[in-house]
Amino acid sequence: MVPSFSYIRAKSLDEAIDYLAMDGARPHAGGTDLLGCLRDRVFDVTTVVSIAGLKELRGIEATPAGGLRIGSLTTIAEIARHPLIRSNYRALSMAASEVASPQLRNQGTIGGNLCQKPRCWYYRGEFHCLRKGGDQCYAVEGENAYHCILGGDNCFIVHPSDTAPALVALQAGVVIAGPNGRRIVSAESFHMPPSVDYTSETVLESQEIVTEIILPPPAKGLRSSYRKVRARRAWDFALAGVALAMVFNDDQTTEARVVLSGAAPVPWRSAEAEKTVRGSRLDRSRAARAAEAAIKDAEPMEQNEYKIPLFRGLIEQQLMAIV
């Protein structure tokens, strides 16, 4: 049962930030993740601050620099079908199309998608795990088929968002507003690895709200893609996924960003895979070497070793598909 809480509809961004100073207050956008967390008692909330009425956080528009601004309340469905995103930032429209189900894409927002809580069944369940203030990660000795193979450190969640790896590949910026004004961080540094802080999934400080995503102008020759493998052909989170953003000049790859989903507690950028394909002609043997490089440091647990060949095949296939 969902515990009782106070509900406030903020009328402006400043008002929302002020309300979030209340002890136990949380922002509410589409509510598709927040309400599940309340029901499962993942965290305690006394006040839910709805930001859903803030028009300035909606919409998609071109920036004067030739990039794109996406308000944080823009729904995943709007992102999936927007013509400029489909043509210039294909990885993002492909990733958005892979999120959850049509109903959830219509209700869920991009800001909420980036800030959603992980799906680890120990964290979401009745276990007082490390991330919830306990003293151990139960996945280490427990059911770990869906946990991470890279970057686990002390907590072995996988980052749940499909749009986040695409945004990292496309070098997006995340604009954040809080009591001390606005700041912008790269999508790459927005999520918090457990090695730095295992109790927090993002760099958001208390009272801070994501207001927009900024995509840089697409480079000449940019091609991007996202592919996700899941356990079943219905809504599900990624077992393994890869976002690519590659710049081609004739048959040479001049720039490459390779970001994995379903692999690590944060969207996982593989510098080794990028180095293998950058500045060369991409053929099958190079794609295979890049895929191998991406998983070289993987440390699977008892039940998730299957992710290694899965990522190997997925990355190789996607690199060959983008040429």
Tokens found for residue 301: 């647990």
Residue type, 138: Y
Using CB under 6 A, pick the residue from 20, 99, 158, 243 that binds ligand FAD: 99
Q: Do 164 and 203 meet the contact criterion of CB atoms below 8 Å apart? A: no
| Comparison of 253 and 261: residue with beta carbon closer to ligand FAD | 261
| Comparison of 10 and 29: residue with beta carbon closer to ligand FAD | 29
**Cβ partners under 8 Å of residue 315, min gap 6:** 242, 258, 260, 273, 287, 290, 291, 294, 295
Integer CA distances (angstroms), 9 to 20, 24, 50, 111, in order: 12, 16, 5, 17
Which of 254, 270, 246, 223 has the alpha carbon at shortest distance from 88? 223
Question: Which residue's C-beta sits nearest to ligand FAD?
Answer: 112
Is 29 a binding residue for ligand FAD by CB under 6 A? The answer is yes
Using CB under 6 A, pick the residue from 38, 79, 80, 115 that binds ligand FAD: 115
| Comparison of 160 and 194: residue with beta carbon closer to ligand FAD | 160
Residues 152-181 that bind ligand FAD (CB under 6 A): 160-162
Which of 155, 148, 131, 146 has the alpha carbon at shortest distance from 299? 148
Is 111 a binding residue for ligand FAD by CB under 6 A? The answer is yes
| Comparison of 63 and 200: residue with beta carbon closer to ligand FAD | 200
Residues 30-49 that bind ligand FAD (CB under 6 A): 30-34, 36
Is 93 a binding residue for ligand FAD by CB under 6 A? The answer is no
| Comparison of 40 and 236: residue with beta carbon closer to ligand FAD | 236
Strand bridging mode 25-28 / 47-50: parallel
**CA angle 164–213–184, rounded 5-degree value:** 100
Q: Of 22-30, 180-188, 240-248, 314-322, which part binds ligand FAD (CB under 6 A)?
A: 22-30
Residues 189-208 that bind ligand FAD (CB under 6 A): 204
Is 262 a binding residue for ligand FAD by CB under 6 A? The answer is no
Q: Do 179 and 205 meet the contact criterion of CB atoms below 8 Å apart? A: no
Strand bridging mode 47-50 / 6-9: parallel
Is 67 a binding residue for ligand FAD by CB under 6 A? The answer is no
Is 112 a binding residue for ligand FAD by CB under 6 A? The answer is yes
Is 210 a binding residue for ligand FAD by CB under 6 A? The answer is yes
Q: Do 93 and 80 meet the contact criterion of CB atoms below 8 Å apart? A: yes
Which of 81, 74, 77 has the alpha carbon at shortest distance from 29? 74
Integer CA distances (angstroms), 26 to 45, 115, 154, in order: 7, 11, 26
Is 28 a binding residue for ligand FAD by CB under 6 A? The answer is yes
Residue type, 108: G
Is 235 a binding residue for ligand FAD by CB under 6 A? The answer is yes
Using CB under 6 A, pick the residue from 108, 152, 194, 218 that binds ligand FAD: 108
Smallest separation, CB 20 to ligand FAD (Å): 9
Q: Phi and psi at residue 81, in whole multiples of 5°?
A: -105, 0
* CA–CA gap between residue 211 and residue 268 (Å, rounded): 24
Is 104 a binding residue for ligand FAD by CB under 6 A? The answer is yes
| Comparison of 20 and 256: residue with beta carbon closer to ligand FAD | 20
- The residue ranges that bind ligand FAD (CB under 6 A) are 26-34, 36, 72, 76, 99-100, 104, 107-109, 111-113, 115-116, 160-162, 204, 209-210, 235-237
